[in-house]
Amino acid sequence: MKKRMFALLTAAVLLCGILTGCGGNPDAGSQSGTSGDSGSAVKDTLVVAVPDAPSYMDPQVQAAIATFRVTTQMFDRLVSLDNDMNLVPGLAESWDVIDDKTTVFHLRQGVKFHNGEEMTSEDVKYSLERCIASSGVNYNYLIIDTITCDDDYTVTITTKEPFNALLPRLTLDAASIICKSADSSPEEFNRHPVGAGPYKFVSWELGGDVVLEAFEDYYKGAPAVKRVIFRTIPEAINRSIGLETGEVDLAYDLGITDLESLAGNDKVTTLTTPSNTVWYLGMNVQKAPLDNVKVRQAIAYALNPQDYIDIVFSGEATLARNTMLPAGVEGYAPDTVTYDYNVETAKALLAEAGYPDGFATTLWCADSQVMRDSAVVIQEQLRQIGINAEVKTMEQGQYYSETGKGEQDLFIMSKTSIDPDSMLRAMYHTEAFGLSGNRSFWATPETDEMMDKASTTTDKAEALELYKQIQTIVAENVPLVPIAIEHLNAGMQSNVKGFGLYPGKSHYIYGTYFE
């Protein structure tokens, strides 16, 4: 208890600076009815504490959860997944699968963008073609052949080959529908994004608060919460203290010990759920000695995933079991090739590769608590086999950009998936080299062909067998080491109702209200 109280006092001092100084936004913290307000004003502002700052307000630049947690509130897609991962209508009220290459979408009529313009099929066509043209997100959509506007409210999408994952793929944030007329330039759109989602953009200072306000003409009905402030608070304990002091209404990704301490606080409610997010150690195979498969296998044997989970996630995560597919995703094939923790085996492989005394390298991570904690654990485990990994930490946006260019050696990353193709393609396909996800820059013509075939076959059993074979091949070549499947959590003031956790991590604010 003394240790907890000391931590609270220390972090409270730090938190005051974060909550009052972050971004310098005059709107932040000055709303009527903020947490702890004993006056009669109706509370209408939700302050959401997040661990990582978004890099963009445009969802089609690069795939990053920190960005999507904000942009998913501003943009809707043709179809969506609810918090139970059920496919539900979005901007398309219905669709008809004409054949294995053709799907016709019937759009909702009267849907308004934030600038007052009505959404038509031209906006849908423009948005999806814009997505396909963006190297940071397009790997999931290169299968699309044509997008045609049959009339103002009907869009037909055809794929180059039969494609069994089109609908799940269109639920991703990269497939957000934007207002065509608002996209005068990428830079301008990022400064003034215009979507048709429940919240519209107000302001953002890089690294500071993002302020959104309710879109009263939202087609599902005006949001109950009228203003949302996303506040970046990197340290988990500070997000927890923000809840305890009432300065924060909702906080994502709390520390496990903080969850335990909040359990006895009747002013705070907590939620937990499994996720589809896998944390992994990536290896840039374009850099020596990581281009040597025996070196990569040695690193895999050197890692102790359970210790990693116990230290980084306080035991509250699931072993990834040598595959990037989480158990909840179809095609999951664990332990096709295993790397049980074994320091001696790792040292022997390094010696066979010509590095009996190990070598020096760098280990890259973004400036977030999970990343930093991960780096410390992995650095020490690699040291046990003679690998001296210097930790290189950088701001989130720069981290994603530089690793997309292939500047890194070893790197820590996570990936969220909703279907096997989107995960395996992002991690191992040539199409996804760089910003799209394949930051290990490993691929083979064989696995490319297998992934393409698995995603286009209409024989489900054949697809599942191909996915199993792919997981076996990539585990043998080990361009990355899957370590842990993250568990999601959030804490909120007891008067915050209607919020639920989305396994894909972006989380919907719409439907949340104050009691």
What pLDDT shows up at residue 139? 84
Domain with CATH 3.40.190.10 in the chain: 2-71+198-267+494-514
d(CA 289, CA 65): 31
What is the assigned CATH class of domain 79-181? alpha beta
What pLDDT shows up at residue 9? 43
pTM: 0.76
The one-digit pLDDT tens for each residue of the chain (515 residues) are 333 444 444 444 444 444 443 333 333 333 334 444 444 567 899 999 999 999 999 999 988 899 999 999 999 999 999 998 899 999 999 999 999 999 999 999 999 999 999 999 999 999 999 999 998 899 889 999 999 999 999 999 999 999 988 999 999 999 999 999 999 999 999 999 999 999 999 999 877 899 999 999 999 999 999 999 999 999 999 999 999 999 999 999 998 888 888 988 999 999 998 888 999 999 999 999 999 999 999 999 999 999 999 999 988 899 999 999 998 888 999 999 999 999 999 999 999 999 999 999 999 999 988 999 999 999 999 999 999 999 999 998 899 999 999 999 999 999 988 889 989 999 999 999 998 899 999 999 999 999 999 998 889 899 999 999 999 999 999 999 999 999 999 999 999 999 999 988 999 999 999 99
What pLDDT shows up at residue 255? 86
Q: The sheet that has 144-151: what strands, in order across it?
A: 92-99, 102-107, 154-159, 144-151
CATH fold, domain 2-71+198-267+494-514, is: D-Maltodextrin-Binding Protein; domain 2 (3.40.190)
- Report the sign of the C-alpha dihedral through residues 204, 171, 411, 51, in that order: positive
Strand partners, 230: 48, 210
What pLDDT shows up at residue 436? 86
């286009």: which residue's tokens? 456
d(CA 499, CA 223): 12
d(CA 264, CA 242): 16
CATH 3.20.20.140 holds for 274-486: no
What pLDDT shows up at residue 41? 65
What pLDDT shows up at residue 229? 98
Rg (CA), the chain: 23
Roughly what angle, to the nearest 10 degrees, separates helices 420-428 and 460-477?
30
Q: Within a 10 A sphere around the Cβ of 156, how many other Cβ atoms?
A: 17
* 153 CB burial (10 A radius; 0-12, 13-18, 19+): buried
Domain with CATH 3.90.76.10 in the chain: 79-181
* 497 CB burial (10 A radius; 0-12, 13-18, 19+): middle
What pLDDT shows up at residue 29? 34
Question: 3-state secondary structure string, 158-221?
Answer: EECCCCCCHHHHCCCHHHCCCCHHHCCCHHHHHHCCCCCCCEEEEEECCCCCEEEEECCCCCCC
Q: Which token pair is 451? A: 């992934």
The H or E element that residue 338 is part of is none
Q: Is residue 244 within 8 Å of residue 270, measured between CB atoms?
A: no
CA angle 330, 334, 340 (to 5 degrees): 160
Q: What's the Cα-to-Cα distance from 215 to each of 50, 228, 410, rounded to whole Å?
A: 22, 11, 43
Domain with CATH 3.10.105.10 in the chain: 274-486
